Amino acid sequence: MTRIEQNRVAIRQFLEDVWSKGNVEIAERIIDPNFQFILAFAHLDGRAAFMGLVERNRSIFENLTYSVESEEDIVADEKNGAAFWAMKSKHIGTWRNVPASNKDVAINGMTLFRFNEEGKIYEAKVQNDVMSLMNQIGGIKKLYDF
């Protein structure tokens, strides 16, 4: 397998095994211990902190599933990669101060990954449709209609 092919596999495992199944063994194989997980509203420093987030979110969002519909939705070079993904779940616990809505939720997003010399993911920057997620769980109040 070329490095690009390896990176594509790691991206899919990051979403479908680490996030969707909480698979710690795969996480330790594909993610660097000093991994940085960065969103518009949060920054997790280190693989252990990230795995804590995975565990928490998997308890707040029932049957949390991240999937990549097609190989066309993954783009990679030797050192970087990106994926367009879909998330599905049911919101059953408090998330960002919004109590459990028990609503089925679904959003899309994109993540940009960086790989080190060993081919492990050392950074992921996420842009997700948190606005839509907040709308689905009743987490925001609009002051105007738009």
Partner 1 sequence: MSIEANKAVVTRYWTDLWNKKDEKVIDEITHPDVKLHFPPGQAHQPPSFQVWLKTALIAFPNVHFTIHDLVAEGDKVVCRWSYTATNTGVFLGNPATNRDVTDQGINMFRIEDGKIAEMWMSGDSLGLLQQLGVIK
* Residues engaged in binding partner 1 (CB under 8 A): 4, 40-41, 72-73, 75-77, 80-82, 84, 107-112, 125, 127-135, 140-146
Return the number of the residue (51 or 66) whose C-beta is nearest partner 1. 66
Taking the C-alpha atoms of residue 37 and residue 27, their distance in angstroms, rounded to an integer, is 13
The answer to whether 107 and 131 are in contact (CB under 8 A) is no
- Tokens linked to 43: 């920054």
Least distance CB 38 / partner 1 (angstroms): 10
Taking the C-alpha atoms of residue 101 and residue 98, their distance in angstroms, rounded to an integer, is 8
Phi-psi bin for 39: left (phi > 0), alpha (psi -120 to 50), beta?
beta
Q: Please report, for residues 26, 34, 47, 99, 141, the alpha-carbon distance to residue 51 in angstroms, rounded to integers and kept in the order given.
A: 11, 12, 6, 22, 31
Return the number of the residue (25 or 141) whose C-beta is nearest partner 1. 141
Least distance CB 48 / partner 1 (angstroms): 25
Return the number of the residue (8 or 47) whose C-beta is nearest partner 1. 8
Return the number of the residue (26 or 82) whose C-beta is nearest partner 1. 82
Least distance CB 127 / partner 1 (angstroms): 4
Least distance CB 22 / partner 1 (angstroms): 24
Return the number of the residue (59 or 127) whose C-beta is nearest partner 1. 127
Longest alpha-carbon distance in the chain? 53
> Residue 9 CB: number of other CB atoms within 10 A?
15
Least distance CB 89 / partner 1 (angstroms): 16
